[in-house]
Every structure is written in structure tokens, then in C-alpha cells.
Copies of this chain bind each other. A is one copy, B any other.
Amino acid sequence: MSKISKPQSCLQCPYKWKHLNLLSDDDIRSIRQNCTIIRFKKGETVCKQGTDATHVLYLAKGMVKLYIEGEKNLILRLIKAGEYIDLQTLFGDNSYRYSVAAMDDTEVCMINSEHIRKLAEKNSAYLFELTKVISDSGNYFYKKISDISSKHLRGRLADALLYLADEIYENKEFDLGMTRRELAEMSSMSMENAVRILSELKADKIISVKGKRIKILQYDILKKLSDIG
């Protein structure tokens, strides 16, 4: 964590967050007053499971992982620049149920929660949109929880690869921006098994693997592996 700064103006910010259009120029200026940009280096912890959330976190640059700490970690999702890291703590119980760490060099806007709550309270269109984001983020976990509990190794790793290709990198070829251990933590399996299945998929020519470079060669088959679990 380093280099603390105030944004010049949220209006001109290239990483302008969603729903800013619902706020008045005055409100946006007030956000600037209550916002601090913090830079995190790869690997640094952005927020820690169990602590109290005092700020809304918005990811302006880079990528972070949202994960649950335990004897073995479980990565629930990755967050790209231009997304809220967390809104769940804004209205409900305000302690973090997960930790967040930087996957590369990132910039995070931290806006005082109380301030956002005040803006939301007097602007129901804005609150409405925030609530939508919270709802959808909850909905995402229904599928995740059922996938994790019902699918086998191959299906779960297929899920992780499809998630990376479809949701994160939006490309069938991508640099896996993480270690094999983290890929395993995304798919809830041991690191050795993640490596093994990666090798199997490679041997079956479903994907190509060169170090961190992964290319999905047979998307449909990978999809099928995900489906049959």
C-alpha cells in the first residue's frame, strides 16, 4: 500500500464508476472530498476478512481477487477495473466476510461509506442502482455454491477456465495472471490436481498451455466438461 492521493475530479476520471450519471455535479464533487486513491502492489492485501468496512471500495485500475481465508483459501471471484469491490457492507452488516488482495499493481478509490449512504438516502434512483448491483452479486453465488458442491475436479477447473476466458479476459487466449495454486483456489482443489488436470486438458488438445499462457482450443468441449461436472 502506498502513494495516497485525492482524485483531481471524479468527473474527468477515466475509470468513472457506474451510476455517477445519477448524481448531481455537487454530489460528485462531494465524493471527491470523501475519496482517497490508494495504490496497492501485487500481492498486497486490500481488505482483510473480519475487519469492519468503513469505506466503499471501487477498483479504478488493475485486478484483485476476492477470497475467503481458511486452512485453504477459496477465491470467490476476480474483480476488474471499473467495478465495485464491495457494496455488501454498505447497508448490511459492515464486517468483511472475505479478504481482497491485489493480483497486479492496482488503484483503489476508497469512499467513506457514511457519505455514500447519505447520498443514497436522498437519491432513491441512485440507491436503486446500488441495490441492483448488490442483488446481482448475491445471485452470482447461487451458481457458484452449487458448482462447488456438485461438480468434480474436471468440471470445476473447466468452470474456472471458462470464467477467465469469458468474464475476465474476454478472450479464448490469455495470460493466467495467477499461480497454479491460485487457479486451484479458484476451483476449490489441491494445487497438484489443478496442475494435473491442466496437463490432461493439454494432452487431450482441449487447451494449450505454455507457462502462464493459456489458449482454449476446443471451447465447446470445455463447456461440455463444465456441464457434465
Interface residues of A (CB under 8 A from B): 68, 70-72, 74, 76, 87-93, 97-98, 120-125, 127-128, 130-139, 141-146, 148-150, 188, 229
Interface core residue of A91, A122, A150 (most chain B CB under 10 Å): A91
Residues A135 and B90 in contact, CB atoms below 8 Å apart = yes
Contacts of A89 in B (CB 8 A): 135
Nearest CB of B to A191, in Å: 15
Check B92 against A135 for contact (C-beta < 8 Å). Answer: yes
- Minimal beta-carbon separation of A7 from chain B (angstroms): 26
A145 with B74: in contact, given A121-B124, A124-B127 (CB under 8 Å)?
Answer: yes
This chain: copies in complex: 2
Contacts of A72 on B, CB cut-off 8 Å? Answer: 150
Closest to A122 in B: B124
CB < 8 Å neighbour of A141 from B87, B123, B141, B188: B141
* Cβ-closest chain B residue relative to A146: B68
User: Of B98, B139, B144, which contacts A92 at CB under 8 A?
Assistant: B139
Question: B91 contacts A135, CB within 8 Å?
Answer: yes
Tell me the bound Cα distance from A148 to B148 in angstroms.
8
The residues of B that contact A133 with a CB separation of less than 8 Å are: 92
Give the CA-CA distance A120 to B141 in the complex, in Å.
25
Please pick, from B137, B142, B149, B150, the residue contacting A98 in the complex, using a CB distance under 8 A: B142
Q: How far is the CA of A65 from the CA of B97 in the complex (A)?
A: 24
Bound CA span A13–B97, Å: 36
Residues of B within 8 A of A145 (CB): 68, 74, 76, 141, 144-145, 148
Contact B137 A70 (CB under 8 A): no
Q: Answer whether A132 and B92 are a contact pair too, CB < 8 Å, given A124-B122, A150-B71.
A: yes
Are A68 and B142 closer than 8 Å at their CB atoms? yes
Q: What are 25 inter-chain pairs, A to B, with CB distance below 8 A?
A: A68-B142, A70-B150, A72-B150, A74-B146, A76-B142, A88-B139, A90-B135, A91-B134, A91-B135, A92-B133, A92-B138, A92-B139, A120-B128, A121-B128, A127-B128, A131-B131, A131-B134, A134-B134, A134-B138, A137-B138, A138-B138, A138-B141, A145-B145, A148-B148, A148-B149
